[in-house]
């Protein structure tokens, strides 16, 4: 049963990307994600160069290399949290296009907005980055990757579901529904997190994740509840 829940959104997500005309939007998101990644790398490089300054040059270089390696690895696994910030800008546009071709009888009235919840998205990203920074030391003992995947699966699953369901029902109601389907949403978050770790693919995840969760939401019986106008 759980397998069917995951297979349906996966198949429908692939189909919707072409049917809803999302290729151009995905390319725009890819450029945005690439710029965000470059900014992250530049920030980590600056931080590494200025974090430690020791008297002996060889020790200074060694320590900076070690710090840079830890931050670099940790930074790569923190990329998932940036997906929410990037996708937030195109969230309503993506949902509107997908529902227009896949769920025309369930569309919300009114035109979609550009980056409708920017303050929330920035706040979420800041909180998620802090949580990911807290687990950086665990990379030194070999469990950082596992903790990162578990943490980001929870964060991304919850956030993207509440965005898709909240588009119709509002965030409080979406949060309530999410608590009834924890495993499905967490599993979807795991899929999204894994995709964000695949080079190349991760550039397109901001749109893929939104489309995926639109199908997850509309696959639930609660999707028939009265929408917020």
Q: What whole-number distance in Å separates Cα of residue 85 and Cα of residue 167?
A: 16
Q: What whole-number distance in Å separates Cα of residue 189 and Cα of residue 185?
A: 6
The 8-class DSSP code of residue 137 comes to G
> Exposed (0-12), middle (13-18) or buried (19+): which is 199, by Cβ within 10 Å?
exposed
Contact 192, 220 (CB under 8 A): no
pLDDT tens, the chain, 229 aa long: 455 556 677 788 989 998 988 999 888 888 887 787 677 667 766 766 666 555 566 656 666 666 666 666 656 666 667 777 888 888 889 999 999 999 999 888 777 777 778 888 888 888 888 888 888 788 888 898 899 899 999 999 999 999 999 999 888 999 999 999 999 999 999 999 999 888 888 888 889 999 999 999 998 887 666 555 4
Nearest CA to 222 out of 172, 185, 186, 180 is that of: 180
Q: What whole-number distance in Å separates Cα of residue 30 and Cα of residue 205?
A: 8
Angle at alpha carbon of residue 80, lines to 201 and 156, rounded to 5°: 110
Q: What whole-number distance in Å separates Cα of residue 171 and Cα of residue 178?
A: 10
């Amino acid at each position: 049963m759980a397998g069917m829940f995951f297979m349906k959104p996966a198949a429908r997500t692939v189909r919707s990307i072409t049917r809803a005309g999302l290729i151009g939007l995905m390319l725009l998101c890819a450029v945005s994600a690439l710029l965000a990644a470059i900014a992250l790398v530049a920030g980590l490089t600056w931080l590494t160069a200025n974090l430690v300054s020791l008297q002996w040059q060889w020790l200074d270089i060694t320590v900076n290399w070690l710090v840079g390696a830890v931050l670099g690895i940790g930074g790569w696994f923190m990329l998932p949290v940036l997906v929410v910030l990037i996708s937030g800008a195109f969230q309503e546009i993506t949902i509107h296009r997908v529902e227009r071709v896949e769920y025309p009888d369930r569309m919300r009235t009114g035109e979609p907005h550009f980056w409708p919840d920017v303050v929330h998205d920035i706040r979420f990203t800041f909180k998620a980055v802090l949580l990911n920074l807290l687990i950086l030391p665990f990379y030194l003992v070999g469990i950082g990757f596992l903790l990162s995947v578990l943490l980001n699966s929870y964060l991304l699953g919850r956030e993207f579901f509440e965005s898709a369901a909240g588009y119709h029902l509002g965030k409080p109601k979406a949060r309530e529904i999410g608590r009834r389907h924890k495993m499905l949403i967490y599993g979807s978050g795991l899929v999204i997190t894994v995709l964000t770790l695949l080079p190349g693919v991760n550039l397109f995840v901001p749109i893929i994740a939104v489309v995926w969760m639109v199908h997850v939401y509309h696959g639930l019986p609660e999707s028939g509840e009265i929408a917020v106008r």
